[in-house]
Amino acid sequence: MATTNTYLNFNGDCEAAFNFYKSIFGGEFNYIGRFGEMPETEGYTVPETDKGKVMHVSLPIGSSILMGSDCGGEWAPSFVQGNNFAVSISADSKDEADRIFSALSADGKVTMPLANTFWGDYFGMLTDKFGVNWMMSYNEQSKK
């Protein structure tokens, strides 16, 4: 059965926010990565001003995970407080990820098609027909 986790977006202060959350909830970050760590792809280089920003952070809280990132580059102009979250789904299989992603994207907008990523997840993003942002993830290594 798939699980959901909350994913928050910030306008440059993600690390400060997550250090604040960590001081409240305790624990340690499962992962914190920066845009500057992303491999360059054809046609896109991370701007110097965004390299230190948080690309992804995750903080376990009980049986859920609070996740977040800074908006940067091409996503920064669309950042508006209130659209700074996405429901993140962790699927139990690649087939489940495909099925849920396809169903949620019906009459919506796929912002990043499902694909294997450099961090090891099968991952994609979409906005459903109601304007809710979703992130779909499947990690085969975590299922072994």
**Distant-in-sequence, close-in-space partners of 96: CB < 8 Å, separation ≥ 6:** 2, 138
Three-state SS sequence of 66-132:
EEEEECCHHHHHHCCCCCCEEEEEECCCHHHHHHHHHHHHCCCEEEEEEEECCCCCEEEEEECCCCC
Helix (H) / strand (E) element for 18: namely helix 14-25
Please measure the distance between the N-terminal and C-terminal CA atoms of the chain and give it in whole angstroms. Answer: 15
- Residue 74's pLDDT is what? 65
- Please write the tens of the pLDDT for every residue from 79-93: 776 677 898 999 999
- Please write the tens of the pLDDT for every residue from 93-104: 999 999 999 999
CB 50 within 8 A of CB 35: yes
- Domains of the chain, each with CATH number or no CATH: 1-81 (3.30.720.100), 91-144 (3.30.720.110)
> Whole-model pTM?
0.72
